[in-house]
Amino acid sequence: MYKVRLWSIKRARMMEVLYAFLEKSLVACAPVFERIGYDRLERPVAAVEKTVKGVLFDCQMCGQCALSKTGMSCPMNCPKSIRNGPCGGVRIDGYCEVKPEMRCVWVEAWTGSQRMKNGGDMSIVQVAIDHRLIGSSSWLREVRRIRAEESAAKNPTDTASNISSS
Ligand code: SF4
Tens digits of residue pLDDT in 127-142: 999 999 999 999 999 9
Taken as a whole, the chain contains a residue count of: 166
- Main-chain dihedrals φ then ψ at residue 95, nearest 5 degrees: -95, 165
Sign of CA dihedral 43, 45, 47, 49: negative
pLDDT at 98: 97
Query: For residue 161, is it within any domain?
Result: no
CA 158 to centroid of ligand 1, rounded, Å: 33
Tell me the best of 15, 49, 57, 139 to mutate to test the pocket of ligand 1, counting ligand atoms within 8 Å of each CB and taking the most. 57
56 lines ligand 1 (CB under 6 A): no
- pLDDT by residue (tens digit) across 22-59? 999 999 999 999 999 999 999 999 999 999 999 999 99
Domain count for the chain = 1
What pLDDT is stored for residue 16 in this prediction?
Answer: 95
Which pLDDT band holds residue 69 (cuts at 50, 70, 90)? Answer: very high
Among protein residues, the one with the nearest Cα to ligand 1's atom 4 is: 65
pLDDT of residue 161 exceeding 70, the answer is no
> Is position 52 within any domain?
yes
User: Which percentage of the chain shows pLDDT scores above 70?
Assistant: 94
> Does residue 8 line the site of ligand 1, with CB under 6 A?
no
What confidence tier does 123 reach under pLDDT thresholds 50, 70, 90? confident
In the reported structure, the alpha carbon of residue 19 is separated from the centroid of ligand 1 by a whole-number distance in angstroms of 13
The mean predicted confidence, pLDDT, of the chain is: 92
What is the helix (H) or strand (E) element at residue 42, kind and residue range? helix 38-57
Give the structural domain span for 45.
Answer: 2-154
Confidence class for position 166, pLDDT limits 50, 70, 90: very low
- The answer to the question of residue 166 being in a domain is no
Residue nearest to atom 8 of ligand 1 (CA): 59
Phi, psi of 6 (to 5 degrees): -65, -35
CA nearest to 45, candidates 61, 67, 60: 61
Residue 83 lies in a domain: yes
Relative orientation angle of helices 156-165 and 138-154, to the nearest 10 degrees: 100
